[in-house]
Structure 1
Amino acid sequence: MNSVEPSPPERIIVFWVPDWPVHAHLRDREETKAPAPTPAPAMALISQHRVRACSAAARAEGVRIGLRENEAQARCPALEIHPHFAEVDERRFAAVLASLENLVPGVEPLRPGLCALRARGPARYYGDEERAAAAILELAADLDLPDARVGIADGRFAAEQAARASSTDPGVEAPRRGVRIVPLGTSRAFLSALPVGRAAEPGFADLLQGLGIRTLGALAALPEDAVRQRFGAPGVSAHRRASAVGPRHGSEVLPRSAVRDHTVECALEPPLESAEQLAFACMALAERLISGLVDDGLVCTALRVELTDDADVRHERVWAHPHRFTAADAVNRVRWQAAAISSASAANGSGRSGQEAAGIAHVRLVPAHTDRAAAHEPGLWNTEPDERVHHHLSRVQSRLGHTGVGTAELLGGRLLAQRQRLTPWGTGRAAERGSHASAAGPWPGAVPGPAPSLVFPEPLRAELVDTEGRPVGIDDEDLLTAAPARLRVAHTAFDARVSDWSLPWAIREHWWRGEQPRFRLQLQLADGDAWLLLHEDRRWLAEGRYD
């Protein structure tokens, strides 16, 4: 059977924002904390203890994507370390995509910071490809993305490589800053000098290099049938990218469907100061938000509530939900946020010319994250909390406040008090950004199971002495200075003697900052009572007690 020849590649425009995760992080920080510095400092975003993105200043110091966190810090001691959240990248790029679609329709998002569109329509509208690229970059400048790039070539892969190319690379035209154009019909020649790793997965690229195929031109020179027989589907895919050929059917660009804006807002006249009044006024607004999502087959799992007072001060917060928001849930979040604003104003004694704190004059509800409704339907073996339980706990929470009802959550860490936290009911655990570490570890120095049944929020002062009443400490070899005989915790001296104990083990954290190690010790009294002790700063503390 004769194979179907691929169609000639069409002209594609690729819009690329280098270091987009860094841009997204800085924009997210601007709204929640202080304005981001310009240019970005030496910064790295970390996930699973590896660098997932870094700023240009960090790269100048030798930091690279994929490095381990400690190696990146060794290369750049002044490096700022922040956790990487993929949802922030997607959420922030969604606004850029919406602005781009208003300028040029038919955009396909490839990943956060990168998208593609067909070049024919924009080139005809603006006059040629260069003018179309210039219009896109003008929009990027308005969006405060001055380092954005546009690549135009035959096929999506070649256009992406063009966007990443330097203005002096052979086969590339750079008519203006940020624009790279590969002339019609020359994309294969432009790609031929690039390393084969640009078109192949790392493992497959290593195999090709071992066979002496080091460039895309060498890969494209091979017959496709021979590549298919030897390497299968991955080889054919890489070969077609290297050859700058089009797909067998249709277009390489599949524009996303038009995204409906589900944001709802309302102005309040006169402004409302009571949280209960504000919640009552927002009931219809929340119903309109949820019904609009239901019509599109969506559910809201993260909701941004923006409250603006009559002094034009905006109070914004993103609320997460472990399942999906209902209208009542959205109203409760508005109530809790308004109550928190009132409490903060009362605590600070704020006011305007002796008057009470400003009332809320404008409410805006934005679905920060949506998902398909089908993905949130209960399965046959449903693990979600019973609807009656959720209903009653939500009612109690509406009376006691957002933090009035909580569920226990196990975190990562070495100290027992750091490993537990109460999460407010109805809040997604992943939404808390303060602790991005996995509870599974590894956590060198952590307590092996089973954990103590009683953990003190603050470790209690303890005294451990030998048979002669002399304090027991830790020597230079990380061993006990004497055999422990008596234990005293807080103001309680136990009559039972120490019958058994473990070897102390060290907890070494931030040793590069000169911090001294801490030591743990498990011991048992003659009456069966067992304790977990912590030794730091030449003193003993009781962390927990075993039943």
Structure 2
Amino acid sequence: MTRSMVLWCPRWPAEESFEPVAAALDAVTPGVEILRPGLAACPARGAARFYGSEESAAEQLIDAVASLAGEYAEHGEAGERSAASVSLRECQVGIADGLFAGWLAARAGVVVPPGGDAAFLADVDVAASGRPELVALLRRLGVYTLGAFAALPASDVLDRFGFDAAYMHRLAAGEPPRPTVARKPPPELTVDAECDPPIDRLDAAAFTGRALAEQLQRRLTSYGLACTRLIVQATTEGGEQLTRTWRHDGVLSAAAVADRVRWQLDGWLTGGSTGDGGARPTGGIVRITLMPDDVIPYSGTQTGLWGEAGEGRDRAHRALTHVQGLLGPDAVVTAQPGGGRGQRERTRRVAWDTTDGEPDTVGEPWPGSLPAPNPAVVLPEPFAMEVLDAEGGEVGVTGRCLLTASPKRVRIGREVPVDVVTWAGPWPVAERWWRSDARRYARLQLGLSDGRALLVRIEAGAWWLEASYD
């Protein structure tokens, strides 16, 4: 049985290339595959034999990444580099039989014993599957854990939910993602493109990569196949041949392939590493090649209950793809929930075609965050206001986070003051207390006599309106 060793770097900055990390891992063990930026895997068996045990091999990976974190901190700048350095210092390694269980083991920092994947996964929330629509449906059916999902009959899961859910069902049961099939990808599945003039900018490389991803998807579909492991290869003007393998414990769609090509080309063009520990490429890229290294039979997704109604969605997809090709991959963004103390931090903007493989940070501890429910309207920028006591003086907050007086009235801009009928808080927040840009503030919820409910903040003695509730 092939066991997987997975390295996870929590909160890896989306704007930072992961290629230097992959190069550092290559120096420790062969066969490194990137699942996404911040997550990499390699076979555990060979590394365990070389270093004496699986635990020793995991320590070697941690040491290699920790050394790289020191380089980031020493030579980088505050901002992206420091965020990458922190992520590397917090990285964890997990080992399990399967890749999916290995990823969850990495988040927990544990080694799952051989044959123990099913028991390890049994109590894990179904949200770990990373399939929001399936999770929402399972929860409505009363299925809350991967163990409960795995207990469902496999044939019923396939009939009711389709191929992808059946694939996830095998993973939840700790089984191999699919029965072993002796099948090598047909050589004609490989797609490539000549780049004339040579590409040295990420936007041009991403546009070419997206076109190749669409071409690869059409070829795979014509054979009734889907790709789960992809080799990205680039040839430079100087004759350098750069190669990196990307792995996905699931089916790689055209958008997912395009994402991985863009991430990898970003690493080669701007990340300062060729993947073999060398320097940045000496010239532009003259050829990009995509080779599916592992394929499975795949007949597509199950048709919806009321038929296929995706024509409008497909038109929108083509239009947004065209805009990205003209303006660059980061020119079209969408909102994605995230973790944070404030309401604006809980929604972040990501590239429209970015797949949601990020670890769920919503449930992480955020000291000072507000309790539910969340405000309905969050202002783009806080608005200055006044919170007044019964005598007309401004209310303050002491160093012990106590109000100096009860709020009685508020004045927002030039509005007529409005009476406060109820209030809750304050909730103190101390951010980055160890740095020069530390922040300290407190939030308060106010219910007004005109029916409005507000979320306000006091910082440096000034009150600000942040959001409102319905």
Whose RCO is larger (CA < 8 A, sep 6+)?
A: 2
TM-score normalized by structure 1? 0.44
